[in-house]
Chain A
Amino acid sequence: MPTALELEQRIEAAIPGARAEVQTADEVHFSARVVAAEFAGLSRIQQHRLVYGVFEDGELGSAIHALSLKTETP
């Protein structure tokens, strides 16, 4: 089962300069706060798509049941 730390590392590795704080109570449902300069000028929809896109491929993505997101610029 994925851990919050794995999700944080994956997000931070995929989005340069991003800082992610991920929480989970059951390791299936996650909530993440992501701060990234890359979000500047993007709509919230586009910001969230960027983060969802990190998990589109691979095992981690299919193990995550739900990811609640809050995105911000630094």
Chain B
Amino acid sequence: MNETENTLRETIAGAIKDHDVLLFMKGTPEQPQCGFSARTVAALESLGAPFAAIDVLPDPRIRQELSALSNWPTVPQLFVGGELVGGCDIVTEMFESGELAHALGLDAAAEAPGDAPGGEFEQGAPPIQIENRLA
């Protein structure tokens, strides 16, 4: 473990702490580079949930440090309130059962009149980039 890896892990931990809803994914919400990431983004967007996203592809160490931190082997990984909720399977299952909306605190919004499904969803927070201090 050298200092740069420590710094990267701290940066990831800080991002998880600083964002209520944070998705680590392959690619961006606009252009996912993997079917599992795309499905996870689709679940969040269909609920109109604002979320921040981090692309793990630019540097393999992001994924490595993330998995070391979360004890979860695969990407995507969704964090809500600083806690790992799951990857694509769990997020999809929770979306279908309504648990995801509940976990995101969106129950009331989902039932509000005039909130037509399929309407324009609120644009999430812009994807953040992990500052690359390793170059």
The residues of A with any CB-CB pair to B shorter than 8 Å are: 44-45, 48-49, 52, 68-70
Residues of B within 8 A of A (CB): 71-73, 84-90, 93-94
- Interface of A (DSSP majority class): helix
A48 to B90, CA, bound (A): 9
Closest to A55 in B: B73
Q: What DSSP secondary structure best describes chain B's contact surface?
A: mixed
| Nearest A residue (CB) for B83 | A45
A49/B89 in contact, CB under 8 A = no
- Complex: how many Å from CA A68 to CA B86? 12
Please indicate the chain B residues that have their CB under 8 angstroms from the CB of A45 in the complex.
72, 84-86, 90
Q: How far is the CB of A73 from chain B (nearest CB, A)?
A: 14
Other-chain contact of A70, B73, B87, B89 (Cβ < 8 Å): B89
In the bound complex, residues from chain B placing their C-beta under 8 Å from that of A69 are 89
B72 touches A70 (CB 8 A): no
Among B72, B84, B86, B90, the most chain A Cβ lie within 10 Å of the Cβ of B90
Interface contact B71-A48, CB-CB below 8 Å: no
| 21 pairs, A vs B, C-beta closer than 8 Å | A44-B86, A44-B90, A44-B93, A44-B94, A45-B72, A45-B84, A45-B85, A45-B86, A45-B90, A48-B86, A48-B87, A48-B89, A48-B90, A49-B71, A49-B72, A52-B73, A68-B88, A68-B89, A69-B89, A70-B89, A70-B93
B88, B89, B94 interface centre (most CB from chain A within 10 Å): B89
In the assembled complex, the CB of A15 is this many whole angstroms from the nearest CB of chain B, namely 17
Contacts of B85 in A (CB 8 A): 45
Closest 3 CB pairs of A and B: A44-B90, A69-B89, A68-B89
CA gap between A70 and B90 in the complex, in Å = 8
Across the interface, which residues of B come within 8 angstroms of A48, CB to CB? 86-87, 89-90
Q: Which residue of A lies closest to B93 (CB)?
A: A70
Complex contacts, B84 vs chain A, CB 8 Å: 45
List, in ascending order, chain B residues with CB within 8 A of A70's CB.
Answer: 89, 93
Q: Which residue of chain B lies nearest to A47 when distances are taken between CB atoms in the complex?
A: B90
